[in-house]
Amino acid sequence: MNQPIKWVENQMPKSSDSQLKVMDLEEVKKARAFHKSFPQYSKTPLRKLENMAGYLGVKEIYVKDESYRFGLNAFKVLGGSFAMARYIAKQTGKDVSDLPYQVLTSEKLREEFGQATFFTATDGNHGRGVAWAANRLGQKAVVFMPKGSTQTRLENIRKEGATATIEEVNYDECVRMAAAAAAKTENGVVVQDTAWEGYEEIPAWIMQGYGTMAMEADEQLSQMDCGRPTHVFVQAGVGSLAGAVQGYFANRYPDNPPTVVVVEADVAACLYKGAAAGDGKLRIVDGDMQTIMAGLACGEPNTISWDILKNHVKVFVSAPDWIAAKGMRMLAAPIKGDPQVTSGESGAAPFGVLAAVMTMDEYKDLRDAIGLDEHSKVLLFSTEGDTDPERYKNIVWEGKEK
């Protein structure tokens, strides 16, 4: 018997919403201009699943396919690269708009800024993005990975010239290790997409970097004559991506925002637990957090994102592994005529939730709570491709869920 999806409607008290400005459209435009300056930049595809929408009983389904991002198979590089640029801009007294790729990688800037060592913790995608950006910008990177991380993801990071190790602790402990190591290193900087008291500037920059993806999707929806989506499903680990996407669309459509559904891995559902408690305070999950959704196995929320999410999200969902596996298989083998999407374990979880909610009677209450019906236009973000090809094949081809 499969574990059920758990969900809670957001009834938390609202705050002054002071963090929404982090995702101001002008800030996102700066990030987008920065990413466009990279020779490797191209807009990732927005896939329209027309036949799947008909099958599931909604009007339209769009999936942003991040498996094409900078050749790295995941969206995370958007955040790490922009945060590094903002940091270098701040240290050299410049505006990030004056530091496009060709300036950042120039000998002149290297002489002016010198070299920093960027420390981070990751299950794979974020660390690879930080390592890739550091490599391109002539900087150093040191990456700590939690136990259970795969050898494939470790090697992908090392190939970018970073120092990387798999530790015997969970993700949140790796974050603390990265912060401690940075504090002991000359020109050591933590580039982490989770924020805590006293560490909020760099995570805010990372979120703005993620805004590039939301802004691209928004433009693509307009080009495809969709306009505003009625619903956005987005996954969350610490919540930085979810806060960035929610923040972007709340700023973009202040008078009529889309209904946002946040999806977490059930063993690491810190945001869901916070929403279920209903008091608006942070909740922390600890332990090993074993899940196929490695990118979502984070138990301590980003404080900036949490503030945005509790003010704007409609429903928080805690999803078991079978949901992610279901999403991966359905996107890999969609209905004839629809494009295939190679979506990894964390990337496919929101689609798995959408499919379950629309086809299983036991989730009718959730369907009704978020107003999903034949008029709904749903946007989802497949944040990674097969970043671990063996695991992807095991789940999609062999039917395993481990």
Which residues are designated catalytic? 76, 123
Q: Enumerate the β-bridge partners of residue 378.
A: 61, 231
* C-alpha to C-alpha distance for 173 and 265, rounded to whole angstroms: 18
Query: Residue with structure tokens 């503030």?
Result: 307
Say if CB 84 and CB 134 are below 8 A apart.
Answer: yes
Q: Which helix (H) or strand (E) holds 50?
A: helix 50-56
* C-alpha to C-alpha distance for 227 and 382, rounded to whole angstroms: 20
* C-alpha to C-alpha distance for 140 and 138, rounded to whole angstroms: 7
Q: In the sheet where 188-190 sits, what is the strand order?
A: 163-166, 140-145, 117-121, 188-190
* C-alpha to C-alpha distance for 25 and 17, rounded to whole angstroms: 16
Residue 247, CA atoms < 13 Å, CB-side half-sphere: 31
* C-alpha to C-alpha distance for 110 and 113, rounded to whole angstroms: 5
Residue 332, Cβ density class (10 Å: 0-12 exposed, 13-18 middle, ≥19 buried) = middle
Which positions ≥6 away from 390 have C-beta within 8 Å? 150, 152
Say if CB 235 and CB 349 are below 8 A apart.
Answer: yes
Q: Enumerate the β-bridge partners of residue 232.
A: 260, 379
Query: Residue with structure tokens 């989506």?
Result: 229
Residue ranges of alpha helices (H) inside 57-166 are 77-91, 101-104, 107-113, 125-136, 151-158
12's tokens:
């938390």
Say if CB 236 and CB 263 are below 8 A apart.
Answer: yes
Instruction: Identify which of 147, 73, 16 has the alpha carbon closest to the alpha carbon of residue 345.
Output: 73
